Chain A
Amino acid sequence: MKKTISIIALGILSIASIGVVMSSSEWSEREDDHQDGVFRDAWLESRADVRPAENPAYQSECGGCHFAYQPGLLPGKDWARIMDTLVEHYGDDASFDESQAAEIRGYLLDNAADRAKLSRARAFSAGSDAGDGLPRITNTRYFKREHYEIPARIVRGNAEVGSFSNCQACHRSAGAGIYNEHQVVIPGFGKWDD
């Protein structure tokens, strides 16, 4: 009888300890990937830490010339400024027809960093230090904090990357809104995991 009880107790203990191990690894995963309340679903489905840009007009009009930066990468006031200045869009005329511009503006503002649910996008809502030019994701406080260790020579001086604006050159899953550092591969230099 004593033996049976101790076997049962051992069984319960080992199940409990597996539970502890699982939940702690889940927790570190969660810290790591900036997941939040929707962690469980996001982990199972996509592990996105910024909501992917799924608006078709945004994808075709803006994503036609450059990476379709997710709305969660800038606060709403910055997106509004960009939409107000499309004729002088970082040195080029990027204007397009009124009805599409209105749709895209609405999409960007509704999903901007200050309205976002995923925590990495929320981090971008801190915005930028005062600057005189157009808003830039690469100029936000959060972006700078995350990239200050990366030497310019392996980005700007790297023909396959060229610029910090070229997210998906190193963040291979950037299109899916996944920016965690474990999937960063810098062309010609390999993984970057600090």
Chain B
Amino acid sequence: MKIPIAFVMAGLAATSMAYGSAANLIADYRNTGAGPFSPDAGGSAWTQEHQSSSGAGTRSCASCHGTDIGKAGRHAKTGKPIEPMALSANPARLTDAKKVEKWFRRNCRWTLGRECTPQEKGDFIQFITSQ
């Protein structure tokens, strides 16, 4: 009987950590003076097209992750499959703050040609969490 309880506890801990990471990131961004954050703003920024740094065409978050983030995406250039972004479809998303920041840095530079602001990142997190 002890073992199942331990599993349940571990499960609860993992779940609260998952939400903890997203909430911690939001708190970090708020501390920089950004906010309030909105899933709608994140959603419209998601499909906003930006001129590609290499000059060929435009890029948006949806270029690789798709417009329906409950579904798998595909890297626009390399064709590599990408797991869904929506928390409802992929609960592992937003559970590792370091990983989230790494990919924000990489993907904002790839897509927008610069790093995202705390405001933009907060909006994206709200959008991903709401889907």
Chain A residues lying within 8 Å of B78, measured Cβ to Cβ, are 65-67, 163, 165-166
Chain A nearest CB from B18 CB (Å) reads 19
Do A91 and B80 form a contact, CB below 8 Å, given A65-B75, A66-B75? no
- The answer on a CB contact under 8 Å between B54 and A91 is yes
**Residues of A92-136 whose CB lies within 8 A of B:** 92-93, 96
- Minimum CB distance partner of A60 in chain B: B99
Given contacts A65-B80, A96-B102, 14 further A-B contacts (CB under 8 A): A64-B103, A65-B75, A65-B78, A66-B75, A67-B78, A92-B54, A92-B110, A93-B53, A93-B109, A93-B110, A96-B106, A163-B78, A165-B78, A169-B79
Chain B residues lying within 8 Å of A162, measured Cβ to Cβ, are 79
Do A67 and B80 form a contact, CB below 8 Å, given A91-B54, A92-B110? yes
C-beta contact mask, B64-107 vs A, less than 8 Å → 1, else 0? 00000000000101111000000000000000000000110010
C-beta contact mask, A33-68 vs B, less than 8 Å → 1, else 0? 000000000000000000000000000000011110
C-beta contact mask, A63-94 vs B, less than 8 Å → 1, else 0? 01111000000000000000000000001110
> Whole-angstrom distance between the alpha carbons of A67 and B75 in the complex?
11
Q: How many of chain B's residues have a CB under 8 angstroms from any CB in A?
A: 12
- Minimum CB distance partner of B56 in chain A: A91
Chain A residues lying within 8 Å of B80, measured Cβ to Cβ, are 65-67
Chain B residues lying within 8 Å of A64, measured Cβ to Cβ, are 103
> Whole-angstrom distance between the alpha carbons of A135 and B78 in the complex?
16
- The answer on a CB contact under 8 Å between A92 and B77 is yes
Chain A residues lying within 8 Å of B77, measured Cβ to Cβ, are 91-92
> Whole-angstrom distance between the alpha carbons of A118 and B77 in the complex?
30
Chain B nearest CB from A29 CB (Å) reads 32
**Residues of A162-194 whose CB lies within 8 A of B:** 162-163, 165-166, 169
Sample of 9 A–B contacts (CB below 8 Å): A64-B103, A66-B75, A66-B80, A67-B80, A91-B77, A96-B102, A162-B79, A163-B78, A166-B79
- Minimum CB distance partner of A66 in chain B: B78
> Whole-angstrom distance between the alpha carbons of A163 and B102 in the complex?
27
C-beta contact mask, A153-166 vs B, less than 8 Å → 1, else 0? 00000000111011
Chain B residues lying within 8 Å of A91, measured Cβ to Cβ, are 54, 77
- Minimum CB distance partner of B113 in chain A: A93
> Whole-angstrom distance between the alpha carbons of A96 and B77 in the complex?
19
- Minimum CB distance partner of B81 in chain A: A168
Chain A nearest CB from B54 CB (Å) reads 5
Chain B nearest CB from A56 CB (Å) reads 13
Chain A residues lying within 8 Å of B106, measured Cβ to Cβ, are 96
Listed from nearest, the 6 A-B pairs whose CB atoms lie closest are A66-B78, A91-B54, A166-B79, A162-B79, A66-B80, A93-B109
Chain B residues lying within 8 Å of A65, measured Cβ to Cβ, are 75, 78, 80
Chain A residues lying within 8 Å of B110, measured Cβ to Cβ, are 92-93
Chain A residues lying within 8 Å of B79, measured Cβ to Cβ, are 161-163, 166, 169
> Whole-angstrom distance between the alpha carbons of A93 and B75 in the complex?
15
